[in-house]
Amino acid sequence: MTMAVFLGSLVLLMVLGMPIAFALILTGVALMFHLNFFDPQLVAQNLLAGADNFPLMAVPFFILAGELMNAGGISKRIINLAVTLVGHIQGGLGYVAIAASVLLASLSGSAIADTAALATLLIPMMRDHGYPVPRSAGLIASGGIIAPIIPPSMSFIIFGVATNTSISKLFLAGIVPGVLMGVALVIVWTMLAGKMKVTPQPKSTWTERRTALVEGLWALMLPVIIIGGLRGGFFTPTEAAVVAAVYSLFVSLFIYREVKFNDLMKLLIDAARTTSAVMFLTAGALVSSYMVTLADLPAQVIDLLSPLLHDPRILMGAVMLLLLAVGTVMDLTPTILVMAPVLMPLANKAGIDPTYFGVMFVLVGTLGLIHPPVCTVLNVVCGVAKISLESATKGIWPFLLTYIVLIAIFIVFPGIITVPMTWFH
């Protein structure tokens, strides 16, 4: 009955169109009434506690870093470097999109920000050179969701806070699966590009490539600083976010000089608005999460799935299918905040490595960003490309199917994630 109250309240409020943060708060209140007590002071205390969390300080700084990267020309130079290196080969602009997706993912950690930057610059170029726009849009959206997997990742920060999992371990464990996502896209795009009649980019000279590399060197140094700092123990993920923001500010103001001091107020306001939405969502989630724990819902889920506990691979498959279903109606951040605290005890009971589970959880959750009806990342590309969601959905299915196959491989062979994870520690 408790499970029905929790799911019923949440689904009903979402169907009515209520913002997720308020839906989570009222779901917690509904559980309070179900358990025969209501304490508004407890609601207020959990709202404050949900935002008053030191690791969450990384969120506003990474968001600010992403705003500075896009406004300061860092993203543009990454894309230009990829164009000079691979733009001239058959289907070259597709490879540019993939390479730039992986590189940008190691800078901002935001799927929407990376996708918007890529789509704005590449969609017009791909259209002019004869690439099918729906397929191009699908590729760019698919590349955009690599951002929550390769560090720095705001999704890993939120997952780590929600489940008390090491954020540093999640960051380092995401490197290999994120790179493999890019490799998988390269394989599929190679098969598709051979059938396209497109005009290749003119081949860049070595001088042009050297110039692009020199201009992009400041941008390429950021992931080296972040990963090296985390691996060497020089700073925590929260401190890495500050380093990223300060570095992006310095490069944008004094190296590339595409951001003026007059522009900073607007960038700070935009970052603050995005931050406030994420933080309020996190605060609201703690109200429902507190009541979920109090109602002992994780134990009920464990009892429900207990027949699968003896085989972690089958259990992981079942959980991933559940998350795919949830992703059709819920965005990534709410999915983490609602489902992770409920499912993590199940993973622990089955002996599944919590870091591996976190990477898989976020990886599957990102698919909801590119398949309807939620598909926030795909909607961004549709807006830039000026095509319908139906057309983009037709263009994205080969890449979506590839990701599902990759997830299945990770389930069958978890060592692909867990073994390299130990190399970085």
SS3 label, residue 391: helix
The pLDDT of 191-220, averaged and rounded, is: 83
Q: What distance in Å separates the CA atoms of residue 403 and residue 397, rounded to the nearest whole number?
A: 10
Per-residue pLDDT band at 424 (split at 50, 70, 90): low
Q: Is the C-alpha dihedral spanning 393, 398, 399, 405 positive or negative?
A: positive
Mind listing the pLDDT tens digit for each residue in 251-290? Answer: 888 888 888 888 889 989 988 888 888 888 888 888 887 7
Tens of pLDDT along 320-348? 988 888 887 778 888 888 888 888 888 88
Which long-range contacts (C-beta less than 8 Å, at least 24 apart) are formed by 363-366?
Answer: 363/149, 363/177, 363/407, 363/410, 364/320, 364/323, 364/324, 364/327, 364/407, 365/148, 365/155, 365/323, 365/327, 365/332, 365/335, 365/336, 366/111, 366/145, 366/148, 366/149, 366/155, 366/332
Neighbours of 41 (CB within 10 A): 7
* Burial tier of 321 (Cβ tally within 10 Å: 0-12, 13-18, 19+): exposed
Tokens of 52: 């008053």
**pLDDT of 54 higher than 80:** no
Measured CA to CA, the distance from residue 391 to residue 127 in angstroms comes to 15
> How far is it, in rounded angstroms, from Cα 177 to Cα 407?
9
Mean pLDDT for 194-219 is 83
- Residue recorded with tokens 């972690």: 312
Question: Can you give the pLDDT at residue 407?
Answer: 95
Q: Quick check: 251 and 74 in contact, CB under 8 A? A: yes
153/230: higher pLDDT: 153
How does pLDDT run across 72-82, given as a tens digit for each residue?
A: 888 788 888 88
Query: 369 pLDDT exceeds 70?
Result: yes
Where are the domains positioned within the chain? 2-424
Contact 116, 230 (CB under 8 A): no
Mean pLDDT of 26-41: 83
Mean pLDDT in residue range 195-204:
77
What pLDDT sits at residue 77? 86
CA atoms within 13 A on the CB side of 283: 16
Please give the single-letter amino acid code of residue 234.
F
Q: Tell the residue number behind the tokens 């090296």, with chain if given.
A: 228
Residue 89's Cβ-count burial label (10 Å; 0-12, 13-18, 19+) is: middle
d(CA 318, CA 278): 29
User: In the 8-state DSSP scheme, what is residue 350?
Assistant: T
Report percent pLDDT > 90 for the chain: 19
Residue 59: other Cβ atoms inside 10 A: 23
Higher pLDDT, 421 or 16: 16
Q: What is the mean pLDDT of residues 379-393?
A: 87
Share of the chain above pLDDT 70, in %: 99
pLDDT band at 398 (very low <50, low <70, confident <90, very high): very high
CB 9 within 8 A of CB 26: yes
Q: Would you state the pLDDT for residue 425?
A: 57
Q: What CA–CA distance (Å, rounded) separates 267 from 286?
A: 29
Q: Which amino acid is at 69?
A: M
Query: What is the Cα–Cα distance from 374 to 368, expressed in whole angstroms?
Result: 7
- Exposed (0-12), middle (13-18) or buried (19+): which is 222, by Cβ within 10 Å? buried
Average pLDDT (87-95) is: 84
Give which of 18, 41, 93, 134 is closest to 398, Cα–Cα: 134
DSSP state of 57: G
Is the dihedral angle over the CA atoms 63, 64, 67, 73 positive or is it negative? negative
What's residue 182's pLDDT? 94
Tokens of 174: 């995401």
Count CB neighbours of 284 within 10 A: 27
Residue 288 in tokens: 């429902």
Mean pLDDT of 245-256: 89
This prediction's pTM = 0.84
Residue 177 has pLDDT above 90, yes or no: yes
Instruction: Among 62-76, 88-102, 214-228, 289-303, name the one with the lowest average pLDDT.
Output: 289-303
Q: What is the dihedral of CA 369, 319, 177, 134, to 10 degrees?
A: -30
Each residue's pLDDT tens digit, 112-135:
878 888 888 888 888 888 888 999
CA atoms of 358 and 417, how far apart (whole Å)? 11
